[in-house]
Amino acid sequence: MIMLSISPISAFSDNYIWCVAHNGEAVIVDPGDAAPVLKYLDQHQLKLSAILITHHHYDHVNGIELLCEQYPQIPVYGPQNQCPVINQRLNHGESIRLLGHDIDVIAVPGHTLDHIAYYIADTQPNPLLFCGDTLFAGGCGRLFEGTAEQMLDSLGLICALPANTAVYCAHEYTLSNLRFAQEVEPANQNLQDRIADASSRRAEGLPTVPSELALELLTNPFLRAGNSAVQASVNAHTGTKCWEKKDIFANLRKWKDNF
């Protein structure tokens, strides 16, 4: 079993660019900015061997060109989109092999239509998911291109992964997501505990990412549209009486957009 070491590289105000490394080789996920990545690779004596892209937004792709100037031969994997610097296009259900591991591609449209996630099943102690701006710690991405129903289906695919999957999202939005979650589910004790834990991590300047999928299922309202407390809260907020998961989810997303 090849052990991977995974580290966040901070970029912009709240982005995490993920560096997955083994034996001096690094795979970078969503390099929105090249400078911090080059600095990190240099500091840790790593050689870039591939780039993985989850979707086309600038804060996930803008560093590719400069990285490829330094590493002209590397594959840049990404979804089917208009981004010209991606040279290996991936579809849902495909797998690629990097750093001794199979990486599965899951299409997760919603935040954008091209959005994909990368899942590595055979890592210890947990499987890994790099999900860009789809599932956040305590929240989910805004719907810029897709529908609420598409996002709900995409999150459903993620929820079907093993509960101990480590979820690596691309932003440090956790505390503000959890503030919203608390508004939705004030009586959720798991959520209270998570807020305390995330607050102390942030106070120490530590990332709250990755999180475990099991914790998301207990505390992330966007994965809990089937929960009666979440449904009651959404209905009370919007003045509706709908019980279908897709309607609850759509109203929850609108609520968060204006929170």
Tell me the closest approach of the beta carbon of residue 133 to Zn ion, in angstroms.
4
The reply to whether 111 belongs to the active site is: yes
66 or 113, CB closer to Zn ion? Answer: 113
The reply to whether 44 belongs to the active site is: no
22, 33, 56, 60: the catalytic one is 60
Tell me the closest approach of the beta carbon of residue 238 to Zn ion, in angstroms.
26
Pairing state of beta strands 128-132 and 166-169?
parallel
171 or 224, CB closer to Zn ion? Answer: 171
The reply to whether 171 belongs to the active site is: yes
Between the alpha carbon of residue 216 and those of residues 11, 23, 87, the distances in Å are: 24, 32, 33
Which has the closest alpha carbon to 168: 3, 46, 8?
8
Interacting residue ranges for Zn ion, rule: CB under 5 A: 57, 133
Tell me the closest approach of the beta carbon of residue 16 to Zn ion, in angstroms.
13
Beta strands in the chain (DSSP E): 5-11, 15-22, 25-29, 47-52, 76-78, 88-89, 95-98, 101-107, 116-120, 128-132, 135-136, 139-140, 166-169, 211-212
110 or 127, CB closer to Zn ion? Answer: 110
22, 56, 111, 115: the catalytic one is 111
The reply to whether 133 belongs to the active site is: yes
The reply to whether 104 belongs to the active site is: no
30, 33, 59, 247: the catalytic one is 59
The reply to whether 57 belongs to the active site is: yes
Tell me the closest approach of the beta carbon of residue 4 to Zn ion, in angstroms.
24
Q: Dig out the tokens for 118 from the structure.
A: 């990368």
Which residue has the CB atom at the shortest distance from Zn ion?
57
- Give every CB contact of residue 200 below 8 A, 6+ residues apart in sequence: none
Q: Could you tell me which residues are beta bridge partners of residue 105?
A: 118
46 or 108, CB closer to Zn ion? Answer: 108
Q: Which amino acid is at 86?
A: I
The catalytic residues are: 55, 57, 59-60, 111, 133, 171
